[in-house]
Copies of this chain bind each other. A is one copy, B any other.
């Protein structure tokens, strides 16, 4: 019997991102979760825990950067050609304020999707235990489509 498995072409942005996300050891380790995926947009959250702190007990800049990086990267992936992955060429991040407790939420967006380069941005908000949202970081990133090798 001929199996017709799910082809790349009909893969939704959500499924495409979920499959890649599940393979990221570091995101599992830190406790990050996919919140929302649409074409050109991806939201990822990271609850506060002892696994993501710096020396003063706030969220570690490295955790904030990693979260912003993957939200922007997956936003880019939703607009990469079928069968392609994206890889980060570089990014730049500004830290706006430090936070302890609650959770971080990074929203990645495609700024411009070209054939050779995809430019994205990522906005990281902190959501306090009381639901209050405050700006935490802002990233600008360059991605490059590359062949998917797994």
Binding site for B on A (CB under 8 A): 20-21, 23-27, 29-30, 49-57, 60-63, 65-67, 69-70, 73, 85, 87-98, 111-112, 116-117, 119, 121, 135, 138, 140, 142, 144, 149-150
Contact = CB atoms under 8 A, between A and B. Distances in A.
Contact of A70 (B30, B62, B94): B62
Interface of A (DSSP majority class): mixed
26 contacts: A20-B55, A21-B55, A24-B55, A25-B60, A26-B53, A29-B29, A29-B30, A29-B50, A29-B52, A56-B85, A61-B88, A61-B91, A62-B65, A62-B67, A62-B69, A62-B70, A87-B95, A89-B89, A89-B142, A90-B90, A90-B94, A90-B142, A91-B92, A91-B93, A94-B140, A94-B142
A87 B99 CA distance: 13
A21 B56 CA distance: 10
